[in-house]
Amino acid sequence: MFETRIHGRGGQGVVTAAEMLSLAAFIEGRFAQAIPSFGSERTGAPVIAYCRIADFRLRTREPVSRPDALIIQDPTLRHVGGIFDGLPSGGYLLINSARPIEMLGIDAHLGHLHRSRVKALNAGQIARSHLGRPLPNTALLGGFAALTGQLALESVLEAIRQTFGGDVGEANVRAAAEAYRQVAAKSRDRRHA
């Protein structure tokens, strides 16, 4: 079982991101569950969503407290208490930020993580260039596929297409694909370095 927790703000498509992750896993013939953490629907309020992926039927309903991967859609959330809670030493962290990870002031939370599994992705900028709006969720999903290797890029892109459809879907597909390339390239750079 692979568990992901997504943090963002109302309006950034946090819940949709978890649903698309689960859909991508479903497309691969695996079992998946997406659960929003539920609140009233206020734009800008912190929102959490979870996604579990497994090769067996998922039964548990509890929130993800020890995520294998953490996606942070809004960098301003990085100082919210508890946001990094439960991330184990083998866990992945993908954060939407224009600044490199070292400059985010979150080193205290990263000490136990493998450097190759921690990425800052400028998903907002990628989204702006493809969608005209800084909606980072699909780009982060592309980055997630590259970072974790849990899902094939094609599955993620298909999930995005099925979710949005039409031109909006294709624009999001391009954003996710570019994010995938950036994260994959960074990983290669790091390995070569």
Cβ closest to other proteins, residue 19 vs residue 68: 19
> 3-class SS at 10?
coil
Please list, residue by residue across 125-163, b when 16 or more beta carbons sit within 10 angstroms of its beta carbon and e when fewer do: ebbbebbeeebbbbbbbbbbbbbbebbebebbbbbbbeb
Least distance (Å) between residue 70 CB and other proteins: 18
Q: Tell me the H-state helices in 28-136.
A: 107-110, 123-131
Question: In Å, how far are 23, 114, 158 from 52, measured between CA atoms?
Answer: 11, 22, 18
Cβ closest to other proteins, residue 58 vs residue 80: 58
Cβ closest to other proteins, residue 61 vs residue 115: 61
Residues that bind other proteins (CB under 8 A): 15, 18-19, 22-23, 26-27, 31-36, 38-40, 58-63, 65
| 8 A C-beta contact, residue 143 and residue 182 | yes
Least distance (Å) between residue 5 CB and other proteins: 13
DSSP-derived pairing of the beta strands 31-36 and 118-121 = unpaired
Least distance (Å) between residue 177 CB and other proteins: 21
Cβ closest to other proteins, residue 40 vs residue 89: 40
Least distance (Å) between residue 183 CB and other proteins: 24
